[in-house]
Structure 1
Amino acid sequence: MIDRAVLEPVLLSLQTAAVVLVLHLVFGVLFGYLLSKERLPFRLVLDALVTLPLIFPPIATGFMLLLLLGRSGVIGQTLAEQGVEIVFSRTGVFIAAFLSGLPLVTKPVQSAIEQMSESLKEASFILGKSEFETFVRVTLPLIRRVILAGLMLSVGRSFGEVGITLMLGGNINGKTETISLAIYNAVFEGNFERAMMFSALLAVITLGLFFAMNRLAGGRRNVF
């Protein structure tokens, strides 16, 4: 029988990866599309917010989010009054993984769209297609490999996230402990066998993710 102390971090990490995959597919692509528009109002603000987790230390980012989403925080206090708890919950773990990996999808998508030939979009408009139809039928197919590569990186990042998760999730055994936090805890306790076991599991999962994404991308070329 599998030890619950081993199973729970694995299941939480897989659940987090699944949630993050969907959120990044929707919001990562959406934000990348919006940021590719130079005349978008507050474009620089959105760009800064999306990019922040990529350039700011994770533990500091987590602390800032803790101040905002904690019970005494501007956002957290309002949510707490509605019975919604984010800090030290699985929701906090999901938010941490989502924010840390978001720029890994958004920025490549933004760059890919900006480098697309305008003639392709203009041809679609001439044929009477709307901007939405052009995005779905022209833009998305052309940047499909970029999206897949970004999703692979962001989901992989979710498995390795520690700093923000420590702040928002609290590293609670059986509740908010992910595989990476389990490795951290094992090393801290001097249990290197356990740390090696979780590291091996993480390696198998991430390698499986890599080959799955390459297969989905189709063809013989690497998604990168």
Structure 2
Amino acid sequence: MEFYSSPIWISLKVSFIATIITVILGILAAKWITDYKGKMKGILDAILTLPLVLPPTVIGFFLLILLGRNGPIGEFLIKFDKNLIFSWQAEVITATVVAFPLMYKTTRGAFEQIDQNVINAARTLGVAEWRIFCNIMIPLSWPGMAAGGILAFTRALGEFGATLMVAGNIPGKTQTIPIAIYFAVANGEMDKALKLVLLIVGISMIVIVLTNLWSDYQLKFTSNSRRD
């Protein structure tokens, strides 16, 4: 039982924390790029999207360079007797990096679908930019942001390659469900691997179904409010 509970707990903990961070950073980055009018927009967008197309081993390599004892972040943390490599915090960072582009691209697409006349009208009436963002852009972009959050969570939940490089396979500490599946198969423990596979599929399906139900409820609530 301990074999199953440990990867489950670690995976859910890492995925939820990474999703929260990803949603916040993704929304802020999407808002920034949407408003940005400079010549570097294409390059900045490419940099923010890059983890989506890079192989997991490449992402893991870059994170090892940054977070390792000789890297800029790792060397700084060593001064405080902290080490991120082979820790669950490293898994959160890895999951956030690989899931971020999905949240960013989906949210940016939702922002760009908003009728610009609505935003311009609010600005003409003297509405502050932060209120436009919170009271107009966020509500109108909710379905896209919810979709981005779902994709980010499932991507974080299924992350394997980069996580294995940065956090390793330490049972009870860094062994997530995907890593446990891999090593169960490698050891010929197919029954254990199958149970974990079914578990991660079930978790992903539950998250998607619940989010879809919530989105449908929000749409119906909004429609009824407009009629009233």
The two structures have a TM-score, normalised by structure 2, of 0.91
Q: Which runs of 4+ in 1 moved over 6 A?
A: none
- Distance in 1 (CA, whole Å) between partners of 2:161 and 2:176 is 12
Give 1:189 shift.
0.9
Contact 1:34 1:40 in 2 (8 A): no
SS of residue in 2 equivalent to 1:218: helix
What letter is aligned with 1:190?
A: G
Aligned: 1:71 with 2:69: yes
- Distance in 1 (CA, whole Å) between partners of 2:38 and 2:17 is 28
Contact 1:36 1:111 in 2 (8 A): no
What is residue 34 of structure 1 aligned with on the other side? 32
Aligned-pair identity in percent equals 32
Q: Which has the higher helix share?
A: 2
Contact 2:19 2:156 in 1 (8 A): no
Give 1:186 shift.
0.5
What letter is aligned with 2:168?
A: G
SS of residue in 2 equivalent to 1:36: helix
The match for 1:90 among 85, 88, 91 is 88
- Distance in 2 (CA, whole Å) between partners of 1:200 and 1:65 is 30
| Stretches of structure 2 lacking an aligned partner (at least 5 in a row) | 220-228
- Distance in 2 (CA, whole Å) between partners of 1:92 and 1:54 is 19
- Distance in 2 (CA, whole Å) between partners of 1:91 and 1:42 is 32
What is residue 201 of structure 1 aligned with on the other side? 199
The match for 2:175 among 151, 164, 177 is 177
Give 1:45 shift.
5.0
What is residue 222 of structure 2 aligned with on the other side? none
Give 1:73 shift.
1.2
The match for 2:112 among 108, 111, 114 is 114
Relative distance call for 1:216 and 1:84 in structure 2 (3 A) is farther
- Distance in 2 (CA, whole Å) between partners of 1:80 and 1:108 is 37
What letter is aligned with 1:127?
A: L
Contact 2:110 2:145 in 1 (8 A): no
> What is the 5 A alignment of 1:1-224?
3-39=1-37, 43-44=41-42, 46-219=44-217
- Distance in 1 (CA, whole Å) between partners of 2:148 and 2:63 is 24
Give 1:47 shift.
2.3
> Which segment is superposed worse, 49-58 or 191-200?
49-58
What is residue 223 of structure 2 aligned with on the other side? none
- Distance in 1 (CA, whole Å) between partners of 2:36 and 2:129 is 16
What letter is aligned with 2:165?
A: M
Give 1:220 shift.
9.5
Relative distance call for 1:85 and 1:41 in structure 2 (3 A) is farther
| Stretches of structure 1 lacking an aligned partner (at least 5 in a row) | none
> Which segment is superposed worse, 105-114 or 33-42?
33-42
- Distance in 1 (CA, whole Å) between partners of 2:86 and 2:209 is 33
Relative distance call for 1:11 and 1:219 in structure 2 (3 A) is same
- Distance in 1 (CA, whole Å) between partners of 2:205 and 2:38 is 38
- Distance in 2 (CA, whole Å) between partners of 1:61 and 1:94 is 14
Give 1:74 shift.
2.1
Relative distance call for 1:137 and 1:220 in structure 2 (3 A) is closer
Give 1:43 shift.
4.1
